[in-house]
Each structure stands twice: as structure tokens, then as C-alpha cells.
Chains A and B, each alone.
Chain A
Amino acid sequence: MKVEPRRIQEFLGFMVLRLCIGVVLFILAVIFFDIISKGIGVISWEFLTQPPKDGMTKGGIFPAIVGTFAVTVITALLAVPFGMGCAIYLNEYAADNLFTRFIRISIRNLSGVPSIVYGLFGVALFVEGCHFGTSILAAGCTLGLMTLPLTITASEEALKTVPRSFREGSLALGATKWQAIQTNVLPYAISGMLTGAILGLSRAAGETAPILFTGAAFFLPDIPNSVFSQFMALPYHLYIMSTQHHNIMLVRPIAYGTALVLIVLIFTMNLFAIILRFHLRRMKKD
């Protein structure tokens, strides 16, 4: 029996696609296996709750965990409300003209700016310009700026998924535009908006370049006591432990441990985003 050429094409096509996903999954698996197998050994209660000791060759990473957490909170305070606000304005109110198209393109382009550029910009604007000094606040604001384009774009996409009939339905009943948005658009877009925001934040939590000059410290024995303090952060700590320490080979397990904690932290945030979306989606149905 003769096999049709299109059947062969179908078979080959699927094989190529399977191969692509296989390669990606394989690389991911190797990275995970490497980090987990080498990092799990140093994870202990002490590692998670103590500051580094003995020239950073012993002890834990507690200040870095707290620092990353604090910076991410500042980032969220800046990126989430402003991102949602911009998205609501752009999607619901703004006219479609040359000016708003220019704004949209600019936002898209901003998400492509290298993070080190944001870092330098943060030094000029927040550290020097606003006199925040090298601090949690300056670093958080810098990361917030970097995350804004992501949250705006994600929020706008979420708003677009709400059908026009919801808006028209409420307007036709004499609702104002803001009432329509508040009662009949936001409740159905909010899960998507928040998911996008959390994904953006988890990305920001793992960034090194933007915090490098704006507030991250090599070593601090204590946790920061105000938003104007310098701080240790997980990604920066990892960078130091892998490249800047005087005895890199000795502290290699600590570096792996730090990487593991950072990855788990980011995974937890993403997991939270998934749970939140699932939960809000179910609420919508009831």
C-alpha cells in the first residue's frame, strides 16, 4: 500500500514539534537537577534564619531573603496600581490616535530595555535625583519601573478579554463609564490583571542588574530597619558567591543553596498567581 505524502508530512511535522518541546524540557530538567542536587545539602533551618558568618563562608542567607522580600513589596506598590491604572486608561478611555499609538509602542519598547539600563537610570533618578540614597526604596522603585511595562501590557490584555457586550449592557442601563468599568469590567479582568502582575513581580525578584547600584549590599550583618537602608538580596548574593568571593570553591554550596531558595521563592509566587487565577475564575462562575 502506498503511503500518501501528506501523511508523511504530518508525521514529520509532529516529530519536529515533539523534538522542540523535548529539548526545552530536557534543558530545564538538567538545570533543576543540578541546582537541587547541589543546593539541597546546605538547606537547613540555620541557613534560612541566620546571617552569613566567618567572612561569608558559613551561616545563612536570612538578610538576603528579607531584603528580596522587602524590595519586592516596594516594587509591587509601584508597579501594580500604576500598571493597572495605565491599562484601564489606555484600554477604556484613551482615543485611538497617533499619540496613544505612540504611547503603546513606547510601552512595548520599554519592556525590551536591558535591565542594567534601568539600573543606571535608577541611580540617576531615585538614588541621586530623589535623594533616596542607595536603599530598598530606590531599588524597589527601579524594579517597579522595569516591571511597569509588563504589568501594563498584561492588564490591557486581561481587559480585552472582557466582552464588549458587558460594557454596552451596563451603559445602556444608564451607568456611567466608570460605573460600567467598576462593576462590569474590572471584576472579570482582575484575575488576569493580578496574574500578570505577579508574574512580572517574580521576574523582578530575580533581577540583579537594577539593584546592583541602587541599594544592594555585599554584606550586612543585620536585616534592614527602614526603606532607606541598604539591603542584601538573593540574586545579588548569588552573584557575589559565584564570582566575587575570595574563596569561591569553598562557598560554592552556599551559592547553590541561595539559587535554590531564589527559585523556590519565584516558583511560590508563580504558584500563588495560578491559585489566585483559579480561585477568581471559580468565583466568577458562581
Chain B
Amino acid sequence: MIVKPKIRISNFNFYYGEAKVIKGVSMDVHPKYVTSIIGPSGCGKSTLLRCLNRMNDLILSARPEGKIEIDGVDINDPALDVVGLRKRVGMVFQKPNPFPKSIFDNVAYGLRVNGVSDKIIIERKVEQSLKGSALWDEVKDRLKDNALNLSGGQQQRLCVARALAVEPEIILMDEPASALDPIATAKIEELIVELKKQYTIVIVTHNMQQAARISDQTAFLMQGELIEYGKTSDIFTKPKKKMTEDYITGRFG
């Protein structure tokens, strides 16, 4: 069965000033798959991820070249509404970044800025989102508490809930578990597998076991180039390229 790709990256380059950090990357991301991007530090995996919701717009010298399409629409089109794009493409950052507000207000934030003011709808969505990120049972009695009082793992799940609340289609995760302990990491991983039923997930990770455990597709990036991309089981058991094999067996990186 041929599925229409959710995200299509074609011959994409990306520059910081003069430096070319993404070099001719082409890949299709399937809907409702977990796609992981692995590679050594500084290979451009976070940059590539941040191109998918145009988070790099904030960096003044950044310049994309080539095409990234989501559902067939070029997201770098100057006429495209970036705010609308970011609502459809949620993001969870490497370091949990809850706002210094209450747990409730953190999750409600995205709804409020997108113009939802009905209290009942907001309350329902907050509960739904917290359940969706498997945090509800831990926080339901203290929604008014400051989110900064949560543990690191809870904070990261709160950030997932915050992203879920605006009902995105795609969720980008930038090393979401790298700042967490093993137990919290396991919870995040379970959550990702659960979320896959409804969302398309692209995750950048340093942890190869993690990529192997949770993702359907894996992309191996090195020095801005896409070395290999395919089914996760293929990448980890019978990689086609020598470089991929060297990396996943830990010979470098």
C-alpha cells in the first residue's frame, strides 16, 4: 500500500549565514509513524527538525533552500501563515520548558492564544490533554500548582500535554528524554508509542536504543547529509552503508 507522505522534504538545504548545515536532504515522513532522526552531535538533526515548524525563523541569519511540504503545501512559501503552521506542527523541546504558571494555565496557554475563551471547553481540553500525556492522575488534585514544582519527567509530559491541547497533526520532539532519568525516559517512550495512534511524530534522539525501541522509520544524518533512511529494523540490523553501521555499532560518534 502506498501512503501519501505527511511530510515531504525534497533536496533541502539550510544555511546559518555562510555555513551550510543541511545538505540536500530528501525524505518522506509517513503519517502516524514515529520517525527518528539520529546522528552525531552537530550533524544538523535538531536544525532539520526545527525547519519543520519554522522555529529557525527566530535565528536571524538562517536561510532555507529547497522544499518542505506538509500535506502537499510548501511550508516555506512566503504567503504561508507561520502561526497556523505551528499550531498544526507541535513541538516538545530538549529541555522541559514549562512556563512559570500553574499546571492548568500551561496546558490552557495554547488554547487561549488561539482564541478559545469558553471556560468549559478549556477545562475539558486541559483534562483530555493531561490524560493524553499520562499526567492527569499525578496532577489532577493540584492543577493550580506552579508547573515548576513538577519533576523533570512530569514537566516534559506537561510540555507534551501543552502541545496536544492545540490538536496538532504532527509532533516534533527534540531529544525529549535527554534531560531525564531512566524511569522518566521509559514513561516518555511509552507515551510516544501511544501517541502514534493519532499523531505523526518526528523525534530527534541521541540514544540509539531509544530510536530502535520506539520508531518505525529511522534517518541517519551526518554532517548535514542524509546518509541512510529506511525502516528502523533495517537500519539497525542490515544497514546498507558502512558509515551507518559504524555509527550504530558505536565505532564513532
Contact = CB atoms under 8 A, between A and B. Distances in A.
A106 interface: no
A49 interface: no
Given A96-B60, A174-B83, A175-B83, A169 B93 contact: yes
Contacts, number: 69
A176 B114 CA distance: 9
Interface residues of A, number: 23
Contacts of B53: 172
Contacts of A174: 83-84, 86-87, 110, 113-114, 166
Given A166-B97, A286-B146, A172 B83 contact: no
Interface string A268-286: 0000000000000000111
Nearest to A173: B110
A170 B109 CA distance: 8
Contacts of B109: 170, 173, 175, 183
Interface string A168-186: 1111111110010001100
Contact of A168 (B58, B60, B110, B162): B58
A38 interface: no
Nearest to A97: B60
Interface of A: 95-96, 163-176, 179, 183-184, 188, 284-286
A168 B146 contact: no
Nearest to B82: A171
Contacts of B110: 173-175
B58 A169 contact: no
B247 interface: no
B58 A167 contact: yes
Which 10 pairs of residues, A with B, have the shortest CB-CB distance? A174-B87, A173-B110, A165-B97, A172-B91, A175-B113, A179-B113, A169-B97, A174-B86, A96-B60, A176-B83
A165 B113 contact: no
A95 B57 CA distance: 12
Contact of B163 (A95, A167, A172, A176): A172
A162 to B, nearest CB: 10
A193 to B, nearest CB: 17
Contact of A171 (B55, B99, B100, B166): B55
A188 B148 CA distance: 14
A170 B100 CA distance: 12
B58 A183 contact: no
Contacts of B206: none
The residue among A170, A174, A175, A188 with the most chain B CB atoms within 10 A of its own CB is: A174
5 contacts: A168-B97, A169-B93, A169-B97, A174-B87, A175-B109
Given A173-B163, A174-B87, A284-B100, A168 B113 contact: no
A170 B93 CA distance: 12
A174 B95 CA distance: 19
A285 B101 CA distance: 8
Given A172-B90, A176-B83, A183 B163 contact: no
